[in-house]
Amino acid sequence: MALFADEILQDALSEITLRDPTFLERQSVGFPPIPALVERYRATPLFAAWDDAAIEQRLTAGLAAVFESGVRSAEEAGPQGRLAAVIGDSIMDGLAAEVGAVALQAPPRRAEPLAKILQEEYSAKTTPDGVNYLVREKGERWLLVVNAIGIPLYVWSRLLGDSQHDYRILVVESETADLIAGGMRSDADLASDVGRIVAALDAERIEAIDVVGWCSGGRVAVQLAADQPERVLSLALISTSLRGVPGSDAKATQFEEDIGGIFDSVNRAPETGDFLSELLVNSSKLAQPPTDDAMLFRLPAREHASALTAPLSTGNYLRNYCRRMVQDKAHPTGEALSRIRAPILAIAGSHDHIISNDHTWATLKAHAKAVQGAAVNGAGHYAHDLQYPYFRLMLDAFTRGRPFAAARVETL
């Protein structure tokens, strides 16, 4: 395989080991026969112009590289079939990128520690009113990153530390949480977050900016785009829950049902927050290793697992988090969506068990004027991290008004 194609493939294989270093030691992967794979890819528009011999040659070389990397092949197709499809798609995408058919960039290595990235490439600033924010001192195109409420910033390390893009990144501290460490020091509402972002935009005299919001940060990004239509050029929403917004009858995920019950319980009886905080943090440490690819795809990178419990990590944090999440659910986000002028891109993970992709997509279509959606095969709730090359592919194309395509990306 060519070097670039091998880098794409190795990055895809690293998604597995970053979630569970032992998964490939415990599991084998059943790949369909090469002729069946050739037929599959030959039938897709992206590879329609390729002849069978070319596809077969590339798949053969790619699978050889997979096995050289230590992946064990099952005797027949079937076990871990979804993982086999992700690997096959990654092989084809990497090779298509070599000839310019897919606009994937060579994936950067996992970033340096966030503290080093911020020290070398970012300036820490404060508005006259005391709002803290970070600005990347490189790049030409302004990009606002709105993190999930209460989550430490290092889950964005790949974007923040990627030297290949031209985004001048802006990250604004929420009143609820430390900008770097996360947590939930208050239950300040969504309007407070929007106001603080506007203050930073004013301080930097930013007249036009692209916006990306992840998870609960997506609702903040939506309201900002509605309130600042002259400034927001585009809005990308990654795995954003729109529960509470009318427009879809799709069922909630089990996670949404469970966490909603916790919110209600703590809000009714705040004294339970300390006990439930300890229970939630400890239970997250006892998760069993995944036994199949569907379970694997749900997981974050193991290095980020503790970060995801930051807003739940003390009783006071959990009480603040519960109040804030209930407030956000009742916020008139549907009305805000209807006022957005900028185009919206909804980025989903095919195996996101945190939110209902069906609900989010149907709700966006019911309220937004210009929306498109895409799901990354084999991704969970963390496409901006584990599937970073595909996130960059979609973000770069979307912010510049260009179409995008890849074998691992399904258009919604």
Question: Angle at Cα 172 formed by Cα 166 and Cα 174, nearest 5°?
Answer: 150
For residues 149-172, average pLDDT: 95
Nearest Cα neighbor of 224 from 339, 382, 140 is: 339
pLDDT at residue 344, as a whole number: 98
Would you state the pLDDT for residue 280? 85
Q: Residue 287: pLDDT above 90?
A: no
171: region left, alpha or beta (phi > 0 left; psi from -120 to 50 alpha): beta
**333: how many CB neighbours lie within 10 A of its CB?**
24
The confidence band for 79, taking pLDDT boundaries of 50, 70 and 90, is low
How many secondary structure helices (H) and strands (E) does the chain include? 16, 9
Q: At 317, is the pLDDT very low, low, confident or very high (cuts 50, 70, 90)?
A: very high
What percent of the chain clears pLDDT 90, i.e. is strictly above it? Answer: 72
Average pLDDT estimate for 194-221: 98
Residue 110: pLDDT over 80: no
pLDDT confidence band for 99 (50 / 70 / 90):
confident
Instruction: Place 236 in a pLDDT band, splitting at 50, 70 and 90.
Output: very high
Asked whether the predicted pLDDT for residue 338 surpasses 80, the reply is yes
pTM of the entire structure? Answer: 0.95
How far apart are the C-alpha atoms of 299 and 379, rounded to whole Å?
Answer: 9
> Contact 92/57 with Cβ under 8 angstroms?
no
Is pLDDT at 190 greater than 80 in this prediction?
yes
- Of 238, 248, 266, 254, the residue nearest 324 (C-alpha): 266
Q: Which residues contact 325 (CB under 8 A, 6 or more apart)?
A: 149, 216, 259, 263
Q: Which residue has the higher pLDDT, 28 or 284?
A: 28
Residue 288 vs residue 207, higher pLDDT? 207
pLDDT tens for 3-32 read 668 889 899 999 999 999 999 888 889 888
Return the structure tokens found at 126.
């404060």
Compute the distance between CA of residue 155 and CA of residue 147 in angstroms, rounded to an integer: 9
pLDDT at 406 over 90: yes
Pairing of strands 409-411, 371-376: antiparallel
Mean pLDDT, range 165-190, rounded to an integer: 96
Task: Using pLDDT thresholds of 50, 70 and 90, give the confidence band for residue 249.
Answer: confident
Reply yes or no on whether the pLDDT at 345 is more than 60.
yes
- Report how far residue 52's alpha carbon sits from residue 38's, in angstroms, rounded to the nearest whole number: 6
pLDDT value at residue 101: 85
Most confident stretch, 56-70, 129-143, 289-303: 129-143
* Residue 307 pLDDT grade (very low, low, confident, very high; cuts 50, 70, 90): confident
pLDDT reading at 237 higher than 60: yes
pLDDT at 359: 95
In the predicted model, what is the mean pLDDT of residues 215-233?
98
pLDDT single digits (tens) 38-77: 999 988 888 888 889 988 988 999 999 999 888 888 865 5
Asked whether the predicted pLDDT for residue 373 surpasses 90, the reply is yes
| Out of 40-44, 216-220, 324-328, 358-362, least confident range | 40-44
**What does pLDDT average to over the chain?**
92
Question: What order do you get walking across the sheet with 122-126 strand by strand?
Answer: 122-126, 132-136, 167-172, 141-146, 209-214, 232-238, 344-349, 371-376, 409-411
Spatial separation of the C-alpha atoms in residues 72 and 30, rounded to whole Å: 9
Cβ(255)–Cβ(356) under 8 Å? no
pLDDT at 78 over 70: no
Is 1 a residue whose pLDDT tops 60?
Answer: no
